[in-house]
Homo-oligomer: A and B are copies of this chain.
């Protein structure tokens, strides 16, 4: 099996996920400034999720670029990743309708954490399929960012029930971890 069609299919699903999130948002209930500022938290959650899904797309692109052989395990690990990403619009809507309830805030971390695990599984399946000595195995290295993200989600999910701002700060931290150019972060994490 070739990686081309998997890549195209993933692109299609990600393009849809990133776009339909906006369908889930309630518009301001009238034309006042107060109504607009009520909508701000969910718009910011949307912007953050847009960046998160964009990061997955970007990383997925690099992952697929480093391989051209895939097998059934890669395909199902990839579908597992897409499944959790597809729940992002669902959680966004829940956050919106419940006014950022603790349970919905925790669910955001669970969904993104499971997506991170899905990404990890896809990466490992590709390495297993191409051999431990391949370019990808070397490029991925110890994958500190991935492990740090998972750890942050693991802290954020229970934090959502006791200290919501902490959970939200941790979600933002994961985004920044990936957005800030690689070398400095990796050196910081490795030291």
Contact = CB atoms under 8 A, between A and B. Distances in A.
Interface in A54-107: 54, 57-58, 61, 65, 72, 75-76, 79, 82-83, 86-87, 89-90, 93-94, 97-98, 101-104, 107
The oligomer's copy count stands at 4
A83 B15 contact: no
Interface residues of A, number: 56
A118 B105 CA distance: 30
Contacts of A24: 23
Given A20-B19, A102-B31, A103-B28, A5 B5 contact: no
A47 interface: yes
Given A20-B20, A86-B18, A101 B11 contact: no
Interface of A: 1, 5, 7-9, 11-25, 27-28, 30-33, 35-36, 47, 50-51, 54, 57-58, 61, 65, 72, 75-76, 79, 82-83, 86-87, 89-90, 93-94, 97-98, 101-104, 107, 181
Given A9-B11, A19-B20, A72-B181, 8 more contacts: A12-B12, A12-B15, A13-B18, A16-B20, A23-B89, A27-B94, A27-B104, A50-B83
